[in-house]
Amino acid sequence: MNARTPAEALQEPGPEELFSTPVPASSAAAAADGIEVKVAGTIEDLMQAFVVRGAVFLAEQKCPYAEEFDGNDFTATHLIGLIDGEPAATMRLRWFADFAKLERVAVRREFRSSLVARRLIRFGIELCRRKGYRTLYGHAQRRLVPFWGRYGFRPVEDGSFHFSDHDYVAMCCQLEPGDDAVGLASGHLVLCRPEGDWDRPGVLEKSAARPPTNPL
């Protein structure tokens, strides 16, 4: 969620775009329409997320650099949305003890008529659910409160405030973690798999096929 996201980037979701058919957080395969959403897992992915934010917030909306790149990027998980391989959208997720915070949703101008924003938001919510979070939190521009309401977000008490030249409303969404939420019972090596890719064996599981040569 990002209060500075242009309204035209956040198309109103239809019923099929909400939670009836959640997107697996581990799925990074491009859909038939060329849209792919994934966790930024490489330096190149992270650069793509920053390029999208720079194009939208710095170049288009004249946000000061220090207010956009605020010191939280290396303590967060970043999502990147691509269309036919081109970086089109991004979101930042930060993790707290009992809630996750959705931030910095940005969509490049040329992709705002696509479904990438909806897919990105659904992917982010599903990732939080798979991690076992029951509460999502974020800041929305006042004009975008109805949009986020369609994804289950509701204003919190005394949630109005402002920064970076905009009025904000703090909002929360309550989730029900599913049986597939990752946790201590998921298995030791499952918890070693890459962020968001918990349904596929990882490289360390392949290494476990070798006998230990340095057991001490």
Give the span between the Cα atoms of 94 and 138, in whole angstroms: 10
Can you give the pLDDT at residue 133?
96
Q: Is residue 29 pLDDT above 90, yes or no?
A: no
Spatial CB neighbours of 142, under 8 Å, sequence gap ≥ 6: 160, 167, 168, 169
Q: Which residue's structure tokens are 């476990």?
A: 208
Asked whether 25 and 124 are in contact (CB, 8 A), the reply is: no
pLDDT tens digits for 85-112? Answer: 999 999 999 999 999 999 999 999 999 9
Query: pLDDT-based confidence at 30, cuts 50/70/90?
Result: confident
Q: How many Å apart are CA 194 and CA 35, to the nearest integer?
A: 21
Angle at 88 between CA 170 and CA 38, to 5 degrees: 75
State how far the Cα of 17 lies from the Cα of 31, in Å rounded to an integer: 14
Domain ranges of the chain: 7-201
Quote the pLDDT of residue 21.
38
Q: What is the pTM of this model?
A: 0.85
pLDDT in tens, 40-99: 999 999 999 999 999 999 999 899 999 999 999 999 999 999 999 999 999 999 999 999
Tell me the mean pLDDT in the region 27-45.
87
> Tens of pLDDT along 190-203?
999 999 999 999 99
CATH number of 7-201: 1.10.10.10, 3.40.630.30, 3.90.550.10, 1.10.260.40?
A: 3.40.630.30
As given in the structure block, the two tokens for residue 10 are 């956040």
